[in-house]
Structure 1
Amino acid sequence: MENGNIVKHNTFYAIGMSYKKADAETRGKFSLDAVAKENLLNQAKREGIESLVVTSTCNRTEIYGFSQHPFQLIKLLCENSQGTVEDFQKVAYVYKGKEAVSHMFRVGTGLDSQILGDFEIISQLKMAFAQSKEFGLDNNFLERLVNSVIQASKKIKTDTEISSGATSVSFASVQYIFKNVEDIANKNILLFGTGKIGRNTCENLVKHTKHEQITLINRTKDKAEKLAKKLNVIVKDYADLQLELQKADVVVVATGAQNPTIDKAILNLKKPMLILDLSIPKNVHENVQDLEGVTLIHMDHLSQITDETLENRKLHIPAAEAIIEEIKDEFLAWTKQRKFAPTIHALKDKLNSIKEGELKVQRKKNSNFDEEQAEIISSRIIQKITNHFANHLKDDNTMVDESIQWIEKIFQLETATK
């Protein structure tokens, strides 16, 4: 309480959207590149946000942070992306307090991933927190939470088989190509762009087909050449894209461009073509499907390919959830204790000052007063009383904020203003 008014505390929120409700186009609007992320963090700093973490991947864009109202975080996201508040409200989620904590645990441990057990998100969460720290947008709560999620992720990885077997969008891409393109070993494959999923897809194709059939084109040629050395594939100039498209049987698009880079105008088909668009936002215009012989498959379709591997992974969900519960409970116990620790300290100080006053009186009154004995007894009584209060505040059924207010009121305690 401050001057009789209740101070509005900052609350921990998780806001964002994922593949579950937002399609690729919508996720594309809300995706944040490196510049947008920096701008968002700078704006958060200017607007007095206490602490936050921002992640943006092809499957989700999220902000975890402290604010008085979630709209402060939603506003940051919308003002630094192509998305509008209206779009956000249609597909997004907002979690508060414990629900926001639980959400970060599920996301960080791969339970909420488009491909169950995909652990890539945890390294993105780590990097996002490191970046927030650089901007001074971290606090003890967030640091401890992120570390707890990392700990849960590691334990799930080592103690369960939730990420066993090869499965990912790139794995699904390769499966799709093998199932739908006959005689793949003798077909020409073109990789346009060097996005991670595209790279992995081509790596898997290299393992199963002849190297000389894969050609790589990227806007910046040096990136392509680095990758080509690793994969032992041919690199062509960006200027040759149209020519190479004519030769290709399979095109894997993995660019980071914000607008479509391939449309029907640049395709001059001589034979059937399979195009896999593994980019967010989409990089292949839907109009390519107007051409006879073109099959366009987007990442979202590939993610729906459930195979035995994914079914097997589902069996390990309960074990992963048990690990999350254990580590999450430790974290929540820490947050609770952190909340009431100042009150318990203040209560102890108050009882000690009452004790000091009483001992002073007894010293004057009683000539053979055993001060040492009185000190031991009164200190033990104070410890037992404060333990009772601490146990009450630790109890799961306790309304901590309400109890803290009552204790402070009854004992007229002065704790640091929250």
Structure 2
Amino acid sequence: MKKYHISRHHRFITIGLNFEKADAETRGRFALSQAAIDELLEQAREEGIDGLLVCSTCNRTELHGFAASPEHLIRLLCTHSHGTEEVFESIGYVYENTEAIAHLFRVGSGLDSQILGDFEIISQLKKSFIASKAAGIANPFLERLLNAVIQASKRVKNETRISSGATSVAFAAVQYLMARVPDIGNKRILLFGLGKIGRNTCENLVKHTGHSRITLINRTLQNAESIGGRFDLLVRPLDALQEEVGRSDVIIVATGSPTPTLTPEQFGGTAESEQAEVRKRWILDLSIPMNVDPAISDIDGVTRVHLDQLSQITDQTILERRKDIPKAEAIIEEVKAEFGAWLESRRFAPVIKALNQKLKHLRDEEIDFQSRKFSDFHHEQAEAVADRIIHKITRQFANHLKDDGSDTDESLEWIRKVFQLESDNS
């Protein structure tokens, strides 16, 4: 793998944890709310971090940025979450420079998702960059890198079968219900929480089950009414939650709260143990941190499922997608190489600029000398010819520096010495 020059002063570092080694409870402790992200970005800027992207989803929490050491970023993460550095050391990962860039490409292209081909992360990365820019801690490198990742993601989505069909936690939830809940079309379903995952789950429920007996509850009633109106579904206010919990056979929770929003107490006096037949119910928790109290599993007849369990469901569609992983990886390598070429050109651009200025200074001196020497000297023609020569010379040097076979450091130093250019400290 080609090594790219990143920065003379800081390394480009990724630190994070994801579903592979951190369970839902642990990921919940390291999860960051938007308010926490804003505070983290502000502290990072004050501490001299040069460019930072913070992404916290149900599957991962990651920081991507320029710092003197990974420990700096890890400390920032732990300061603004409920995680500790000791726990991070046991389940977290650190990538630097080329490896950090490669990791972000895989994440953004759906190859590092909990469910292969889930591209929800791209919208999260875009949102993260907007937050960084608002905080004054987004630099041209991060912007160019994110644009390259978005380009790779689009190509993987359009040119491979990695994302064929629906592939997301929301879709997996609906697939789970269709496969395991008898007579799903006649069950009462409650969907609590209508953020992005909740909206997607609602759409998948209607699309794949044809179900209309779905009740929507959301903290913001207006959002629930908008979605309910779109699909002709029943909408109830938040204070009707306990009533709907008692009525529902299937409850899907996607509230995104830092604490449980569904607890045993909300089931009231509906314990089924005294009845002749225990009523079966299914509760799906699509949130990080977990928004369904684990104690609910102790209620008779209740099956509680978290998104980590949903992601383990593998069907034939996923197996087919895996066949296209090499094709997706080839696309990523192609776009990554283009980004690497830009990065290298950014490295030698100051030298080429300085060379251009030096040659123009020599041009001005020579034109001034010749204009005093010849009475019929044509100033504009001489300048036009000289400019074309300068352009050709600088282009030749730039092409040489772009050549993979050249030693860029040695060439840059040679140009500086020969043309007596000022040392580049960028």
Q: TM-score, normalised by structure 2?
A: 0.83
SS for the counterpart of 1:211 is coil
Instruction: Give the whole-Å Cα distance in 2 for the aligned partners of 1:92 and 1:400.
Output: 35
C-alpha distance in structure 1 between counterparts of 2:363 and 2:255, whole Å: 72
Q: Which residue of 1 aligns with 2:206?
A: 206
Q: Report the equivalent of 1:57.
A: 57
Contact 1:53 1:63 in 2 (8 A): yes
For residues 316-360 of structure 1, what are the alpha-carbon distances to aligned partners after superposition, in whole Å with 9 as ceiling and x for unaligned? 212221111111111111111221233345467778989999999
1:269 and 2:271 equivalent?
yes
Question: How big is the shift at 1:206?
Answer: 2.8
Distance in 1 of aligned mates of 2:397 and 2:180? 68
Contact 2:117-2:167 within 8 A present in 1 as well: no
Pick from 303, 315, 325: which aligns with 1:295?
303
Q: Which residue of 2 aligns with 1:133?
A: 133
- What is the SS of the residue equivalent to 1:297? strand
1:64-103 paired onto structure 2 within 5 Å? 64-103=64-103
How many equivalent pairs are there? 408
| CA distance in 2 between partners of 1:75 and 1:405 (Å) | 38
Does the aligned pair in 2 maintain the 1:246–1:269 contact within 8 Å? no
**Matching residue's letter, 2:286:** L
CA distance 1:19–1:238, change in 2 (3 Å) = same
Q: Distance in 1 between matches of 2:388 and 2:258?
A: 68
CA distance in 2, matches of 1:63, 1:106: 15
RMSD of aligned residue pairs (Cα, Å): 3.5
CA contact (8 A) 1:275 1:295 kept: yes
Go from structure 1 to structure 2 and tell me whether the alpha carbon gap of 1:223 and 1:386 turns closer, same or farther (over 3 Å shift): closer
Deviations 1:349-373 (A, max 9, x none): 7789899999999xxxxxxxxxxxx
Once structures 1 and 2 are overlaid, which stretch shifts more, 8-17 or 202-211? Answer: 202-211
Which position in structure 2 is the counterpart of 1:372? none
Q: Following the alignment from structure 1 to structure 2, what is the Cα–Cα distance between the partners of residues 73 and 105? A: 20
Q: Which residue of 1 aligns with 2:181?
A: 181
1:137-169 residue CA offsets vs partner (Å, 9 max, x unmatched): 222222211111122222222222221122222
Structure 1 pair 382–205 and aligned structure 2 pair: CA distance change class (3 A): closer
- Asked if 2 retains the 8 angstrom alpha-carbon contact of 1:17 and 1:92, the reply is yes
Shift of the 348–27 alpha-carbon distance from structure 1 to 2, 3 Å rule, reads same
Separation in 1, partners of 2:314, 2:411: 50
Q: What is the deviation of 1:299?
A: 0.4
Pairs within 5 Å for 1:277-292: 277-292=285-300
User: Secondary structure of 2:252's match?
Assistant: strand
Residue among 403, 414, 417 paired with 2:422: 414
1:87 deviates by: 2.0
Is the Cα–Cα contact under 8 Å of residues 195 and 279 in structure 1 kept in the other structure? Answer: no
Measured in 1, the distance between the counterparts of 2:195 and 2:391 equals 61
Aligned pairs (5 A) from 1:380-399: 393-396=401-404
Question: Which letter does structure 2 place at the counterpart of 1:79?
Answer: T
Secondary structure of the residue aligned to 1:64 is: strand
**Which secondary structure does the structure 1 equivalent of 2:161 belong to?**
coil
Aligned twin of 1:328 = 336
Shifted more, 188-197 versus 90-99: the winner is 188-197
CA distance in 2 between partners of 1:220 and 1:113 (Å): 30
The residue matched to 1:94 in structure 2 has which SS? strand
What do residues 26-69 of structure 1 show as CA deviations (whole Å, max 9, x unaligned)? 21122222211211221122222221212211111212111222
**Closer, same or farther in 2 for the Cα pair 1:235/1:38, shift >3 Å?**
same
Identity over aligned residues, as a percent? 55
Distance 1:232 1:353, change over 3 A: closer
Q: Distance in 1 between matches of 2:261 and 2:134?
A: 35
Instruction: Provide the rounded CA distance (Å) in 2 between the counterparts of 1:386 and 1:309.
Output: 53
Contact kept in structure 1, 2:38 and 2:135, CA below 8 Å: no
The separation in 2 between residues aligned to 1:265 and 1:119, in whole angstroms, is 36
Structure 1 residue runs of 4+, over 3 Å off? Answer: 343-361, 378-413
Contact 2:351–2:424 (CA under 8 A) maintained in structure 1: no
Query: C-alpha distance in 1, partners of 2:256/2:395?
Result: 58
